[in-house]
Structure 1
Amino acid sequence: MNPSRQRPLAIGPLRAFEAVARHLSFRAAAEELHLTQSAISRQIRSLEEEVGCQLLLRGTRHVELSSHGSLLLGTVRGVLDRLDTTVRQIRQSQGRKVVNVTTFASFASLWLLPRLEAFHRLHPDMDIRVSAHDQIIDLDDSEMDLALRYGPTNLLPPDAQRLFGEILTPVASPWLLQQAQSGQLPPLRQASDLALHTLAEEDDQRPSGVYVSWRRWLAEQGQKDLQPRRWMYLNFTYQQVQAALSGQAIALARLALVSEPLQRKELLEPFGPKARMDAPSSYWLVMSRQGRQRPEALGFARWVQEQAALTRHAIGDGLTGDEEEGLGGD
């Protein structure tokens, strides 16, 4: 047996292989790694000799993975990702403390970011890195310390900590309501009056979208066949809220995400609290394995829980004694 095939694989050739496999180009891999194409080629040949098979199929103008190369790539990517994450954590530990948070865009825009200034006043030596997107990532296979998520209980991990529930309510700008009261716009005193107004609706085709839709709210108000003057379909919750703030439409808002604009009278509930509607999902905090081991991440999680308690109070979302205990953190 070739003695070289018994040695551990060097990281350099593995990183070159991953880059070529990702780009399917020796030139692009060389530019990314700041090496020459010949250096990349030597590293790939060295790796193939050590593994004992061809990993890349070279054509005149193209590169593709062999079956063995595809098999190796899946492992190599995971190894390099974990290595890079560990190195970043070590570097961060030598400088400012950073807590990595993942959440969805509307929650970041409407709930988390407006509160971060208060957190930074309490912890000026700590940085918060927010990754906002709608894809759910595997926390324990990433560099994230915690996630702020949304969904029903059965789709969350057992150790998820409930922050607050989902309550929907119609909201409008004070300007729009003043115009309606003065007669310059159609009246807005009862649910049937919505036929004369524009309604901002989240363009969510998932089955769960029905629970936060105007159609469900209208049905509960005895107006299931009502058609508004105009529908305004929007991708994200924060866009609906912006449409309401600007007076362009009436939004069916997630109460937890607009509790502060309501307190500041930037938005108003035209039909009052009696028109609020519950939905089955809630907002949750989930810690990663690494986050549970980092004091700064645990401290940030406790602060989020404190802020969530204020939101629960503002929206009238009471928790049982057992749920309150579960919010105590590690």
Structure 2
Amino acid sequence: MNGKHPSDPQPARLPLSSRQRPLSIGPLRAFEAVARLLSFRAAAEELHLTQSAISRQIRSLEDEIGCTLFLRGTRFVELSADGAVLRQQVLPLLERLDQTVRQIRQSRGRRVVNVTTFASFASLWLIPRLEAFQREHPDIDIRVSANDVVIDLDDSEFDVALRYISKEQTPPGAERLFGETLTPAIGRWAAERAAAGEAPPLRRPADLAAYSLAEEDDSRASTEYLGWRRWLRTHGVGELQPRRWMYLNFTYQQVQAALAGQAVALARVALVSEQLHRGDLVEPFGPAGRMSSPISYWQLQSRHSRERTEVRQFCDWVSAQAAQTRADIGEADATAEAAEAAANTASESESNRPAEA
């Protein structure tokens, strides 16, 4: 006897083509648990299996892949170099699978649209308007994932992406929702105190030296257009230093600071149009203080979702809401702009066409 249990899998002696078959999910789950807990016993308890069953699954996976995944000692277990590489890939795959299964279980019999967008857009623009969509479509659930990670939409579970990017970054088929305009904004209470002489005046850009400024705390290139320095240079006070800087990494945090009277925010007009309309936020310099940016807001649909009725309904609703936002901020209609651009292109093509013989 060689000491092996009869049920133990035999070492794989398979041609490479056979090793390329899909791996079973069970050994991968066992591997992830052992890699995370660094204990075969703890992994067995978590997965409600015996320790010998976990060991067999790990050996099976090692035979299938053709490498050692764990270094085993008398009182320790640790990942091998190959095991560490595999864990980096297995963990997000299992998390994504579990999330998808949860979504299917929760939405049985219902239609769901999965949306990815960045946190400030979700907080300031999308979520405050979602109730209107759900009144119109009570049978459609919207799942919003709000973070600043840009994913490959066609290689994900998401149906729609709402993004803040330049025109050069947009893939084919992207729909421009509205552009970006920035304006200094302060809360109503702070503006009233300044107007009444109870706080330093705030009538011209140089007056900002007496106030705290909420600044975008982000190293990405696109945030250059969201920072105060560009605005200050444009308005002739490029060397100005405020009373203090308040560094915040999300736009909605800056808006909250302005509403609370803690700082002047360089607000994104499209995202705070409702607060400006209600007077909760005030533009101390009026429309003259506004400054445009080359970055815009765009809507993208994944290829695998475009034919689904609920996705089209959601995207149509977003387009209608965006049209209202363009009207609120005084931006020319994007559809009209696109039509004009197409007409100009066609006209140029016609004028450049060689004369027929």
TM-score category of the 2 structures, normalised to the smaller one: 0.7 to 0.9
RMSD after superposition:
3.0
SS of equivalent to 2:173: coil
> In the alignment, which residue of structure 2 is the partner of 1:164?
178
Aligned partner of 2:336 among 314, 321, 324: 321
> 2:339 and 2:141 mapped to 1: Cα distance?
28
Matches within 5 A, 1:228-267: 228-267=242-281
Does structure 1 residue 222 correspond to structure 2 residue 236? yes
CA contact (8 A) 2:12 2:63 kept: no
Would the alpha carbon gap of residues 177 and 293 (structure 1) be closer, same or farther in structure 2, given more than 3 Å must change? same
CA contact (8 A) 1:164 1:311 kept: yes
> In the alignment, which residue of structure 2 is the partner of 1:65?
80
Matches within 5 A, 1:140-179: 140-179=154-193
- Higher deviation after alignment, 237-246 or 18-27: 18-27
Count of equivalent residues = 325
> 1:124 and 1:95 mapped to 2: Cα distance?
13
CA contact (8 A) 1:92 1:98 kept: no
Would the alpha carbon gap of residues 306 and 211 (structure 1) be closer, same or farther in structure 2, given more than 3 Å must change? same
TM-aligned CA deviation for residue 158 of structure 1: 2.3
SS of equivalent to 1:290: helix
Gaps of 5+ in 2: 1-9, 342-357
CA contact (8 A) 1:21 1:65 kept: no
Would the alpha carbon gap of residues 70 and 194 (structure 1) be closer, same or farther in structure 2, given more than 3 Å must change? closer
TM-score when normalising by structure 1: 0.86
Q: Once the two structures are superposed, what CA deviation does each residue of 1:68-111 show, in whole Å capped at 9, x if it has no partner?
A: x5676677668757765765676566322221111111111111
- Letter of the structure 1 residue corresponding to residue 72 of structure 2: R
> In the alignment, which residue of structure 2 is the partner of 1:193?
207
Does structure 1 residue 307 correspond to structure 2 residue 321? yes
> In the alignment, which residue of structure 1 is the partner of 2:122?
108
Would the alpha carbon gap of residues 237 and 53 (structure 1) be closer, same or farther in structure 2, given more than 3 Å must change? closer
Matches within 5 A, 1:3-152: 5=14, 6=18, 9-21=23-35, 23-51=37-65, 53-60=67-74, 61-65=76-80, 67=82, 69=83, 87=101, 91=105, 94-152=108-166
> 1:81 and 1:199 mapped to 2: Cα distance?
40
Larger Rg, first or second structure (1 or 2): 2
TM-score when normalising by structure 2: 0.80
Aligned partner of 1:208 among 200, 210, 222: 222
> In the alignment, which residue of structure 1 is the partner of 2:350?
none
Q: Once the two structures are superposed, what CA deviation does each residue of 1:124-183 show, in whole Å capped at 9, x if it has no partner?
A: 122211111122222233221111111212223222221111110011122112111111
CA contact (8 A) 1:4 1:50 kept: no
CA contact (8 A) 1:56 1:64 kept: yes
CA contact (8 A) 1:57 1:66 kept: no
> In the alignment, which residue of structure 1 is the partner of 2:310?
296
Gaps of 5+ in 1: none
Would the alpha carbon gap of residues 14 and 187 (structure 1) be closer, same or farther in structure 2, given more than 3 Å must change? closer
TM-aligned CA deviation for residue 273 of structure 1: 1.1
> In the alignment, which residue of structure 1 is the partner of 2:352?
none
SS of equivalent to 2:281: coil
> 2:182 and 2:197 mapped to 1: Cα distance?
27
Q: Once the two structures are superposed, what CA deviation does each residue of 1:208-233 show, in whole Å capped at 9, x if it has no partner?
A: 32211111111111111122222222
CA contact (8 A) 1:162 1:323 kept: no
- Letter of the structure 1 residue corresponding to residue 218 of structure 2: D
- Letter of the structure 1 residue corresponding to residue 240 of structure 2: L
- Higher deviation after alignment, 45-54 or 164-173: 45-54
SS of equivalent to 2:292: strand
